[in-house]
Homo-oligomer: A and B are copies of this chain.
Amino acid sequence: MTTSHGTGPLRLGIAGLGTVGAGVIKIIQRRAALLTARTGREIEVVAVSARNRDKDRGVRLKDYAWEDDPVALARRDDIDLFVELMGGSDGPAKVATETAIATGKDVVTANKAMLALHGQALATAAEDAGVALRFEAAVAGGIPVVKALTEGLAGNEVQRVMGVMNGTCNYILTRMESAGLPYDEVFEEANALGYLEADPTLDVGGIDAGHKLSLLSSIAFGTQVDFAAVELEGIQRIEFADIEQARDMGYRIKLLGVTQMTGRGLEQRMSPCLVPADSPLGQLEGGTNMVVLEGDAVGQIVMRGAGAGEGPTASAVLSDILDIARGIRVSTFGQPASSLVKPVPAKAAAPAAFYLRMQLQDKPGALARVAAVLGEAGVSINRMRQYSHAEGTAPVLFVTHKCPRAALDAALAGMGKTGVVEGEPIAIRIEEV
C-alpha cells in the first residue's frame, strides 16, 4: 500500500499566496511529521508564485523557488502537483491550470468560478493527461463535502443536494434578524468587516454559492457542470419585515442552493428560501456553511462547518494534497469526464409553497380582490395574516399551498390590475427540508 511505504516526497508548486496559500504553507511547515506519518511521504513545497514578492505573509518562503509567473511555475519539471489558489475564472489561473495539466502535473484548486465555467474542459484535459484535478476547497470551505459526496455516498443514487454555501449571505441574514437592521445597513457593516468580495454581487447575488452548487450537481448526478442553468436570485430584496414574519410563522430565510434531478430535467436553484426554524438549515447561524446530501440508501446526511477562512480552506486544500500523496485517485466529478452527460435543465422548479407579502390599500373588498387573483391563477391559500393598518395600507401575508412557480408568477402579474396592491409583492419559496 502506498500509505505504508511511500514513494519519495510529493513536490508542490503553489500559485497564489493570499490567506489560503499562506495557510497551506503554514500547515505543511508546522505539521510535517504528522503529514508524513499519514501519507508515508514527505510533503515538500518546491516553488511558489504570487503577484507581490515582497509582501510579508507571516510565513517563511525563502526556502522555496520563486516564480513571478504562475504559468512558469506550472511548467516547472521539479514539481509533481500544482496548487492553484489564485482565483478568477479565467486569466492566469486558467492558463496556469491548463499548463500544469498539459505538462503532466496533478492539480489541486480552490477555484469554484473557474471550475463552474470550465470544469468539463479541465476535467477532460486532466483525464486525457492522466493527472488528477481535485477541488475540495472550492465548495463549502472546510467541510469535506466533495469527498463525502463523491466517495462516501458513492453507493447512492443521489436525490437532492441542498446547501447554505455563502457565509457572507448567511451572516447578513442572521445579523438582520438578530439586530433588527435593514439589509443596506448590514451590507455596509459586512463590507466594512471585509466579508464581501471585491464585486459584492458575487456574494449577495448568489453567484459564488451558485458556482459551488453547480459543482455538486455534477458529482451528484453524473452531469457536465452547467452553471449557466442555475436559477439565481440574490438576497438584496429581503427586508427585515420578511425575516420577522418568517420567524413568526416558524421559518427562517436562508440563501439556499438546491439541486435535484427531476422528471423534467436537472433543477438547480440558488435563491432565498424559507426553511423550518427547527431544521438544521434553519438553525444555522452567522458565517457557517451547511450542506445536506440526500441519497436513496443513506437518507439525509447533514454536514456543517466553516465555509471560509484561512484554516478551514487550507484544511480542505491539504485534504486533496494528502489524497494525492496517498495515491488516491478519483475522477474530478466522481466518474470519467467523458461519461458525464449534458444535463437537460428543468424549465421550471418543482412546485412549492410560497410566502407572499404585499401592501394592501385600506379599501373595502381589497383582500377579496387579491384572493380572487390568486384563485384564478390556481394558487390556493394555506395561511393568511393581515396586520394593523398604517397610513392607508396594511401588510398582508399569505402562505400558499404547493403550486407551480408559473402559477404564482401569473398571480403576481395580476396584482397590479387589482388597484389595491401597493408596490411589488415579495414572494419567497418555502423549501421542504
A residues neighboring B (CB under 8 Å): 1-4, 23, 27, 31, 34-35, 37-40, 127, 130, 132, 136, 142-144, 147-148, 151-157, 222, 278, 280, 283, 295-306, 309, 311-312, 314-319, 321-323, 326-331, 334-336, 338-339
Measured between beta carbons, the chain B residues less than 8 angstroms from A323 are 151, 154
Asked whether B222 lies within 8 Å of A37 as measured between CB atoms, the reply is: yes
Most buried by B among A151, A302, A335: A151
Measured between beta carbons, the chain B residues less than 8 angstroms from A312 are 297-299
Most buried by B among A152, A153, A306, A315: A152
How many monomers of this protein are in the complex? 2
Contact status of A302 and B299, CB under 8 A, knowing A1-B127, A280-B280: no
Asked whether B319 lies within 8 Å of A1 as measured between CB atoms, the reply is: no
Cα(A136)–Cα(B331), bound, Å: 21
Asked whether B151 lies within 8 Å of A322 as measured between CB atoms, the reply is: yes
Measured between beta carbons, the chain B residues less than 8 angstroms from A40 are 335-336
Q: Of B130, B148, B334, which contacts A144 at CB under 8 A?
A: B148
Asked whether B297 lies within 8 Å of A315 as measured between CB atoms, the reply is: yes
Most buried by B among A3, A34, A130, A316: A3
Contact status of A300 and B305, CB under 8 A, knowing A38-B335, A151-B322, A328-B330: yes
Instruction: Name the CB-closest residue of B to A293.
Output: B305
Cα(A338)–Cα(B5), bound, Å: 11
Asked whether A328 lies within 8 Å of B151 as measured between CB atoms, the reply is: yes
Q: How far is the CB of A237 from chain B (nearest CB, A)?
A: 29
Measured between beta carbons, the chain B residues less than 8 angstroms from A283 are 278, 280, 283
Measured between beta carbons, the chain B residues less than 8 angstroms from A142 are 297-299, 301
Most buried by B among A155, A330, A338: A155
Q: How far is the CB of A339 from chain B (nearest CB, A)?
A: 6
Asked whether A329 lies within 8 Å of B327 as measured between CB atoms, the reply is: yes
**A-B contacts, 18 listed (Cβ < 8 Å):** A1-B132, A3-B335, A4-B338, A31-B155, A31-B157, A34-B222, A35-B154, A147-B152, A151-B323, A152-B319, A154-B322, A297-B315, A297-B318, A298-B311, A299-B306, A326-B330, A328-B328, A328-B330
Q: How far is the CB of A402 from chain B (nearest CB, A)?
A: 26
Asked whether B144 lies within 8 Å of A2 as measured between CB atoms, the reply is: no
Asked whether A144 lies within 8 Å of B314 as measured between CB atoms, the reply is: no
Cα(A148)–Cα(B140), bound, Å: 14
Instruction: Name the CB-closest residue of B to A36.
Output: B335
Measured between beta carbons, the chain B residues less than 8 angstroms from A311 are 296-299
Measured between beta carbons, the chain B residues less than 8 angstroms from A156 are 315, 318
Asked whether B155 lies within 8 Å of A144 as measured between CB atoms, the reply is: no
Measured between beta carbons, the chain B residues less than 8 angstroms from A154 are 35, 38-39, 318-319, 322-323
